[in-house]
Amino acid sequence: MSRHIGIVECSSEGAALCYRTICLEAEPLMGMHAHPQITLHNFCLADYMKLIQPRADWKQLAELMLRSADALQRAGADFVITPDNTIHQALPHVLPRSPLPWLHIAEEVGREARRQRYTTLGITGTKYLVNGPVYPEKLKQMEIEYVLPSREQQENINNIIFNELVRGEQRLESLFYFQQVIERLKSSGCDAVVLGCTELPLLVGNEESPLPVLDSTRILARAALKYALD
């Protein structure tokens, strides 16, 4: 027996990677072709973006997440994850009213960083995530330092995410640019880089990165799998 995993989808590409990771990595633990029961619920990315741009309304965005959590509870889920880093900013408004418990992506990334003994992390992701409290709050609790890309780099990465990666496009010139950003983070003293956007692992991995990567999507998927099987 395992717990039923609920996934709140924000972008299709990231949620698909999370779902696929759980299914593939469950087999060595559960047996051939086996994985926990998983249910995914979504509102389209456009619905979320209306509440993020031009000025984020996290309380209203939390209402979408709660509606997904309610749907997942009705479908039988025992707990919830969302592989979207940015909308974790709404979790403080979600958790007091949620019918189900949630795993927190930044908390799981921080735990993995501590396990691997990283001390200073470069944080990448959407400009909303990088300038928000999601990672700073959790990393501070774990006494892990962090460095942010420059404002210009944040804007360029944001464009890569929303104009390319969420549409399933991975361009070589975008990979080269992102590698330059990671090089700067490395020169600033970082010993690992957080891929703090669900789609960034589709563009860069350890083989392409100047620093070891902390793949938030797969880290959360593995944490969910572990929790489901505990």
Mean pLDDT of the chain: 96
Residue 53: which pLDDT band, with cuts at 50, 70 and 90?
A: confident
Name the β-bridge partners of 80. 6, 102
Query: Taking the C-alpha atoms of 204, 210, 213 and 217 in order, what is their torsion angle to the nearest 10 degrees?
Result: -20
How confident is the model over 139-164, as pLDDT tens digits? 999 999 999 999 999 999 999 999 99
What number is the average pLDDT over the span 117-132?
A: 96
The fraction of the chain above a pLDDT of 70, given in percent, is 100
What number is the average pLDDT over the span 56-74?
A: 97
Predicted confidence at residue 54, as pLDDT, reads 84
Cα–Cα distance measured from residue 11 to residue 207, given in angstroms and rounded to the nearest whole number: 25
Predicted confidence at residue 1, as pLDDT, reads 82
How confident is the model over 198-222, as pLDDT tens digits? 899 999 999 999 999 999 999 999 9
Name the β-bridge partners of 193. 122, 213
Predicted confidence at residue 27, as pLDDT, reads 95
The fraction of the chain above a pLDDT of 90, given in percent, is 97
How confident is the model over 168-209, as pLDDT tens digits? 999 999 999 999 999 999 999 999 999 999 899 999 999 999
* Domains present along the chain, CATH in parentheses: 5-104+219-229 (3.40.50.1860), 106-214 (3.40.50.1860)
pLDDT at 55 exceeding the cut of 90: no
Question: Is there a contact between 138 and 104 (Cβ–Cβ < 8 Å)?
Answer: yes
Distant-in-sequence, close-in-space partners of 157: CB < 8 Å, separation ≥ 6: 124, 125, 126, 127, 149, 178, 181, 197
